[in-house]
A and B are shown apart, each in its own frame.
Chain A
Amino acid sequence: MNAKQHAVKDENIRFFGKIVASISHEIKNVLAIINEKAGLLNDLTLMAQKGTALDLGRIQAISNDMQAQIKRGDAIIKNMNKFAHSVDEAIQQINLMEITGLMTTLAERSASRQGVTLCLIPLSSSPMVQTRPFLLELLIWNCLQFAMPRCGEKKTVTIQIEQAMQGPQVKFSLGNNPIEEPVAFENLSWLLEMVQADLRMLVAESQLILSLPEKIACNAI
């Protein structure tokens, strides 16, 4: 394995680690809430045993809250599962809206810590791209990480999928925040090369544009 391949492998592992750490934190939060709700049910039961009247409406509400947290946990685990499987998947047809949606959801914790809202505009019929899912996920993640600290006072990054003349695109709009520094994306050159994608910043529009080929050459990876 040459130095470049080592660097790519390290970057992939780092990315995987960040996502797993973020997901595990979310799961911990869900468990912590269920733990408190279950504890509260226990407290109320002990009080009832000592003669305090049991409020059935309250019990019902706690039970509903617990079910809501279990649904939340289930959704988190489903996303984790989708993401984990993408690591070992070869080149395949991918729904661009779905994969962008997955990465937007996985980046929500990071966004929330920066006080940023990620707004993905829904699209009924998404372009399909034939690529390696894990690398595309890493690319979208990097675009979101670039966009979040630069989205100005509105603190919102709007993400939009489009089928442009030259191929499918993911647009990250940073509000009206002017980007003054030159943006080269040199650190992503290896990834852009592997996915055969183009990433550019439209300074006047405050937009980051990720352009993808509909199909990457199989010998590219």
Chain B
Amino acid sequence: MQPNVLVVDDEAAFAKTLAERLALRDCRVTVALNGNEAMEVVQKIYIDVVILDLAMPGLDGIATLKAIKRIKPQIEVIMLTGNATTETASEGLEMGAMDYLMKPLDIESLVELINMALKRKSWREVKTQAEP
């Protein structure tokens, strides 16, 4: 199954190159350069996994995560952080993000997480359908 991935990062060069590399690894990728754009995308397009930078101007990573989880709780979110401290990432985990990765990224670790996110999402969907 080809995962539908949304990459959200205000560093356009980073977001677009990462999107290209994920596309080479069989992902269907959309890019958003800020939290507001990300919200528009998740409302218009079917997304399985969001790769979300935590430090963004305007609607920051944590606010975007909250907004995504409020309207589409089934979407899995993997956070990206450039900070050496993990306080914000821990806050994100408490708000329902699946995991986080540090920048600079290891692409294979990210792909592994995307695949895990897909499995988790399908399992959750099956569970929801099975519930009376």
Contacts and interface: CB of A to CB of B under 8 A. Distances in A.
A153 to B, nearest CB: 15
Interface residues of B, number: 21
A35 B105 contact: yes
B79 to A, nearest CB: 14
Contact of A29 (B18, B58, B82): B82
Interface in B51-102: 55-58, 60, 82-84
A5 to B, nearest CB: 29
Interface in A13-42: 24-25, 28-29, 31-37, 39-40
Given A25-B55, A112-B57, A113-B60, A36 B82 contact: no
A32 B104 CA distance: 4
Interface residues of A, number: 21
A33 B107 CA distance: 12
A65 to B, nearest CB: 6
A57 to B, nearest CB: 15
A36 B14 contact: yes
A114 interface: yes
B104 A35 contact: yes
Interface string B4-25: 0000001101100110110010
A47 B57 contact: no
Contacts of A65: 13, 17
B124 interface: no
A33 B11 contact: yes
A11 interface: no
A69 interface: yes
A135 B58 CA distance: 30
A36 B17 contact: yes
B20 A29 contact: no
A32 B57 contact: no
Contacts of B11: 29, 32-33
A36 B58 contact: no
B21 A39 contact: yes
A37 B17 contact: yes
B58 A115 contact: yes
B103 interface: yes
Contact of A114 (B24, B55, B57, B104): B57
A193 interface: no
Interface in B96-118: 103-105, 107
B58 A47 contact: no
A28 B56 CA distance: 14
Interface of A: 24-25, 28-29, 31-37, 39-40, 43, 47, 65, 69, 112-115
